[in-house]
């Protein structure tokens, strides 16, 4: 189905810079997310007819309700998307609209960059469709403003068509998903649904209920600096300690060598000098036991190095970030079955694969609201080559409406 307001709504959203800030100690991490929630989304939610629209200052979530128009529906269902965009230029987003895409190269404005099927084979799926791209100087922000636009459009359509029966629906738009802390303060009791969906996936048909288990390891290496001309048997280079530590990790377990259900230990950052160096690793695995084994390996290598030196030369802090939401969702597969039925009715083939990452649903599921992930349509996310198909966004709206209106 086509939705007249969907494209314009999306274009308004993406032109607002809502990039999150990992260095911030506030919630949300950037004022522009607050402004987007209060100045753009909240008035629009009220205008289309959502009720109990409220912004929670403690966690940065904007919540609204579409009351049931048929009390016999057995479930209260939520839909969630995040307002922030990733760590790439988000100022001055100037989307291009490519109608009836011909399958060839797309010049991204005057930036000199080209979106080409030679580099991105996923473009081959979209011939004949309407694509929204960047102008090559910014990201697009389909992750996750496509999700927000789809949820808002679905709510608007349901309000305008009361003949479509549904139970109570809650929507939530939150901050800071891209920096991994957005759902930390989520208020599950306030949201008050039986289950929910993050509309934060990629291509058409994605339906995901399994994510990585995730941890971060922060290491500090303590060296001893002396003049390199007299360094023999005296200098201990903190940078060399960091290299020695890294070389003891299995090479096959690096992110660039893994796929599918394979986990990894990935070096994210390394900095320092002879006196002191710091390294940050992320640890990921779908399997609980393998996840624990990876964390123990990092701990064991640090211990062995400290034993060798007879003192602490390697400081280590490991913190779990989120867990595989499959643990929760498999207890009751109702949200998965509902989404599958809605997609199949629309001739969409569900793509049920584990996410090599996490979503806000990873944390919200462990707060008592099972929250799998639905496709929103974005491709090549987090950079200048990001794009989305309008037709896929329309299918996402169709799917949301299909989920809430399905009744066994």
Give, for all 408 residues of the chain, the pLDDT tens digit.
899 999 999 999 999 999 999 999 999 999 999 999 999 999 999 999 999 999 999 999 999 999 999 999 999 999 999 999 999 999 999 999 999 999 999 999 999 999 999 999 999 999 999 999 999 999 999 999 999 999 999 999 999 999 999 999 999 999 999 998 999 999 999 999 999 999 999 999 999 999 999 999 999 999 999 999 998 999 999 999 999 999 999 999 999 999 999 999 999 999 999 999 999 999 999 999 999 999 999 999 999 999 999 999 999 999 999 999 999 999 999 999 999 999 999 999 999 999 998 889 999 999 999 999 999 999 999 999 999 999 999 999 999 999 999 876
In whole angstroms, give the CA distance from residue 402 to residue 177.
26
Q: Where are the alpha helices (DSSP H) in 248-325?
A: 288-309
16, 84, 210, 398: the catalytic one is 84
> What φ, ψ does residue 115 adopt, rounded to 5°?
-90, 110
pLDDT given for residue 358 in this prediction? 86
Q: What backbone phi and psi angles, to 5 degrees, belong to 112? A: 90, -10
Q: What are the beta bridge partners of residue 355?
A: 211
Instruction: Put residue 112 in one of left, alpha, beta given phi > 0 → left and psi -120 to 50 → alpha.
Output: left
* Helix, coil or strand: residue 46: helix
Q: In degrees rounded to 5, what are phi and psi of residue 158? A: -65, -40
Query: What topology does CATH give the domain 6-210+324-405?
Result: Aminopeptidase (3.40.630)
For residues 263 and 283, what is the distance between their CA atoms, to the nearest angstrom?
8
- Listed residue (388, 359, 367) closest to 376, CA to CA: 388
Instruction: Spot the catalytic one: 16, 176, 177, 253.
Output: 177
- Residue 177 annotated among the catalytic residues of the structure: yes
pLDDT on residue 350: 97
Domain range list for the chain: 6-210+324-405, 213-322
Q: What is each CA distance from 382 to 74, 86, 387, in whole angstroms? A: 38, 6, 10
Structure tokens at 77: 């269902």
Architecture of domain 213-322: 2-Layer Sandwich (3.30)
Could you give the angle at which helices 334-345 and 390-405 cross, rounded to 10 degrees?
120
Is residue 360 flagged as an active site residue? no
271 and 218 Cβ atoms separated by less than 8 Å? no
pLDDT for position 71: 93
Q: How many CA atoms lie within 13 A of 93 on its CB side?
A: 30
Residue 103: count of CB within 10 angstroms of its CB = 10
- Residue 407: its pLDDT value, please? 78
Cβ atoms of 159 and 48 within 8 Å: the answer is: yes
Distance CA(223)–CA(239), nearest Å, equals: 8
CA–CA dist 285, 290 (Å, integer): 7
């Amino acid at each position: 189905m086509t939705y007249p307001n969907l494209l314009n709504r999306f274009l308004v959203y993406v032109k607002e810079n809502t990039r999150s800030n990992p260095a911030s100690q506030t919630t949300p991490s950037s004022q522009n997310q607050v402004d987007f929630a209060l100045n753009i989304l909240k008035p629009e939610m009220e205008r289309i007819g959502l009720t109990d629209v409220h912004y929670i200052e403690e966690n940065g979530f904007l919540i609204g309700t579409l009351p049931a128009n048929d009390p016999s529906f057995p479930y209260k269902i939520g839909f969630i998307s995040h307002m922030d965009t990733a760590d790439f230029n988000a100022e001055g987003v100037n989307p291009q609209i490519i109608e009836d895409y011909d399958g060839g190269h797309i010049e991204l404005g005057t930036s000199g960059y080209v979106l080409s099927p030679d580099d991105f084979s996923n473009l081959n799926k979209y011939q004949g469709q309407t694509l929204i791209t960047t102008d090559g100087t910014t990201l697009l922000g389909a992750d996750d403003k496509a999700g927000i636009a789809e949820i808002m459009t679905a709510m608007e359509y349901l309000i305008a068509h009361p003949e479509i029966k549904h139970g109570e629906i809650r929507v939530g738009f939150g901050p800071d998903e891209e920096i991994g802390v957005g759902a930390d303060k989520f208020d599950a009791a306030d949201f008050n649904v039986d289950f929910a969906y993050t509309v934060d996936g990629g291509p058409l048909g994605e339906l995901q209920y399994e994510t990585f288990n995730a941890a971060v390891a922060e290491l500090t290496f303590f060296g001893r600096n002396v003049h390199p001309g007299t360094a023999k048997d005296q200098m201990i280079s903190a940078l060399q300690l960091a290299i020695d530590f890294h070389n003891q990790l299995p090479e096959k377990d690096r992110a660039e060598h893994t796929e599918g259900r394979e986990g990894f230990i990935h070096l994210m950052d390394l900095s320092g000098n002879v006196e002191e160096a710091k390294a940050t690793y992320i640890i990921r695995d779908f399997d609980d036991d393998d996840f624990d084994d990876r964390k123990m390996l990092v701990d064991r290598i640090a211990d062995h190095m400290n034993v060798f030196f007879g003192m602490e030369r390697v400081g280590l802090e490991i913190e779990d970030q989120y867990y595989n939401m499959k643990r929760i969702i498999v207890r009751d597969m109702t949200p998965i079955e509902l989404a599958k039925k809605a997609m199949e009715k629309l001739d969409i083939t569900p793509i049920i694969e584990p996410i090599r990452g996490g979503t806000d649903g990873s944390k919200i599921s462990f707060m008592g609201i099972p929250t799998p992930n639905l496709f929103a349509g974005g491709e090549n996310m987090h950079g200048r080559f990001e794009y989305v198909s309008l037709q896929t966004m329309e299918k996402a709206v169709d799917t949301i409406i299909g989920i809430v209106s399905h009744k066994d």
